[in-house]
Amino acid sequence: MSCNSDTERAAAASASQSSSSPLLTPQDHQSAGAPAAEVAEPPVFDSSSSIVTNSEDNPSPPSTELEIPIVWPPDGKLSLNWIRNLMSVFDWASRNLEPTQLPDVFPVEVFDSLVLCASKILHKEPNCVAIDNLGSESTVVVVGDLHGQLHDLLFLLHDAGFPSENRFFVFNGDYVDRGAWGLESFLILLAWKVFFPRTVYLLRGNHESKYCTSVYGFEKEVVTKYSDRGKHVYRKCLGCFEGLPLASIIGKHVYTAHGGIFRHMPATPKRSKGKKNRKIAFNPEPSSLSIGSFEELNKARRSVLDPPWEGSNLIPGDVLWSDPSMTPGLSPNKERGIGLLWGPDCTDNFLKKFQLKLIIRSHEGPDAREKRPGLGGMDEGYTIDHIVESGKLITLFSAPDYPQFQGTEERYRNKGAYIVLGPPNFDTPVFHSFEAITPRPKANAFYNFEEVIDSDEELDLASMVTSP
Ligand SMILES: [Mn+2]
């Protein structure tokens, strides 16, 4: 198996505009085993125009035929058509097949190839990726939490325009959990990453971890969908999560990360020979907390299943779990049990120290914001949390009508949003809010949403398992 190389990518993109003949149409698939009653709708995702939501709105036959099952390209090089087909097939399958039928359209061998290709690219990236090959034709789209809401992700990609040589994307993490299509959403993003490794960036969210995926549904989703190969698929996903970079700098002036800023790690005493078992205490007093440097961020070990909440490797946990506050200062994030809380003064210090103008972070949806006095609600999919001398702090959330499964009748009805940054300085955010795709295809939750707490607070940290 081989993967797309940079030089081959542009040629592949231009050569893939024409569609090849389908291997199996959805109608064939219907006769091949899916219950007829379940396969009443034609494919409804027309990748050439705006998204179509369901068969009631669009009873016409499919305008594009799907290639099912998905086949890994014999030369190992993805094309634009391959990704378009992947998106359409996942959309169609979500409306017409049972979750357990996903391997019929996306075989485990294809999963293995895609994840291997993507992981090879991701593991080579630094903890903080620098996106600075931007030109006068470039734009950068920044995306917040997605949480398995496949149809809203597909809408977002159409609305913003697909990734291209000039349209960069930075996804700020939390691709999986809660929503019913975390796996499909993540795989689509991996495919774009493989196809455009230098313009698509996938950062890690706190939900790209063993602990969160075991509580909020992704593990069960994967095991349900891939049954006897489910454990294998889940393990491979966790391995891929470990490779995701933690943060990005867009242009020279915009820092993005899922949670936010991170602490300085005080120098630790070296263990002397002969005292191998001497315990070293890492527990900086809150009063000694200060903002870390990008050298420290890039030195942190990110390849952990769950970032630790104590010890010498706290920076990944800070970047993925921290929250802003309206109270000045830097303090342990007691609500979350991991990461930091930081005030407007820290935003200003961070921006000033690193000559930045903007922090774009995600991590808080409408449910989290309900419990955060002083900070804005997530009705529009974003909030401007701190406006300070050096710039701004923004929270960006891209899952509209979140969470997909909610125990109460009263829903937040929040919009999702993405941000577009453009030339010349790429530091002035243009916000695009969007409504949820309705109705969502019917699906069952993969976690007990009536019992699991609303936002990721009060974690059972003792149950977190860190990789060796
Ligand atoms: Mn989060």
More confident residue, 266 or 15: 266
DSSP SS3 for 341: strand
Residue type, 137: E
**Domain presence at residue 94:** no
29 torsion bin: left (phi>0), alpha (psi -120 to 50), beta (else)? alpha
**Domain presence at residue 39:** no
Q: Using the mean position of ligand 1's atoms as its centre, give its distance from the Cα of residue 236 in Å.
A: 21
The C-alpha atoms of residue 242 and residue 229 are separated, in whole angstroms, by 20
pLDDT digits (tens, 9 = 90+) for 404-420: 999 888 999 999 999 99
The C-alpha atoms of residue 166 and residue 84 are separated, in whole angstroms, by 18
Q: What is the pLDDT of residue 4?
A: 73
Sheet of strand 200-202: strand arrangement: 200-202, 167-171, 139-143, 416-421, 430-434
For residue 444, count CB atoms less than 10 angstroms from its CB and return exposed for 0-12, middle for 13-18, buried for 19 or more: exposed
Q: What is the pLDDT of residue 373?
A: 87
Query: Is the distance from CB of 214 to CB of 241 less than 8 angstroms?
Result: no
Mean pLDDT in residue range 450-463: 64
Q: What is the pLDDT of residue 188?
A: 99
In the predicted model, what is the mean pLDDT of the chain? 86
Mean pLDDT in residue range 422-441: 98
Q: What is the pLDDT of residue 33?
A: 37
Residue type, 428: T
**Domain presence at residue 63:** no
Handedness of CA 163, 165, 168, 171 (dihedral sign): positive
The C-alpha atoms of residue 181 and residue 149 are separated, in whole angstroms, by 6
Full-model pTM: 0.86
* CATH number of residue 233's parent domain: 3.60.21.10
pLDDT digits (tens, 9 = 90+) for 39-69: 334 344 444 333 444 444 443 334 468 999 9
Band of residue 98 on the pLDDT scale cut at 50, 70, 90: very high
Query: Is the distance from CB of 369 to CB of 375 less than 8 angstroms?
Result: yes
**Domain presence at residue 156:** yes
Q: Using the mean position of ligand 1's atoms as its centre, give its distance from the Cα of residue 246 in Å.
A: 13
Number of domains in the chain: 1
Q: Using the mean position of ligand 1's atoms as its centre, give its distance from the Cα of residue 73 in Å.
A: 34
Mean pLDDT in residue range 369-392: 96
Least confidently predicted of 2-16, 258-272, 389-403: 2-16
Q: What is the pLDDT of residue 62?
A: 42
Mean pLDDT in residue range 251-261: 98
Which of 29, 151, 207, 432 is catalytic? The answer is: 207
List 256's β-bridge partners, or say none. 248, 360
The C-alpha atoms of residue 174 and residue 223 are separated, in whole angstroms, by 19
Q: What is the pLDDT of residue 370?
A: 93
| Residues lying with their CB under 5 A of ligand 1, a single-atom ion | 174, 205-206, 363
C-alpha dist (Å) from residue 416 to 146, 162, 382, 431: 9, 18, 8, 10
Q: What is the pLDDT of residue 452?
A: 82
Sheet of strand 330-332: strand arrangement: 323-324, 340-342, 330-332
Strands (E), 362-415: 382-388, 391-396
Question: Which residue range(s) make up the domain with 219?
Answer: 108-267+284-468
Q: Using the mean position of ligand 1's atoms as its centre, give its distance from the Cα of residue 448 in Å.
A: 18
More confident residue, 216 or 273: 216
449's CB contacts (< 8 A; 6+ apart) are: 178, 403, 405, 406, 407
Q: Using the mean position of ligand 1's atoms as its centre, give its distance from the Cα of residue 259 in Å.
A: 7
29 annotated active-site: no
**Domain presence at residue 78:** no
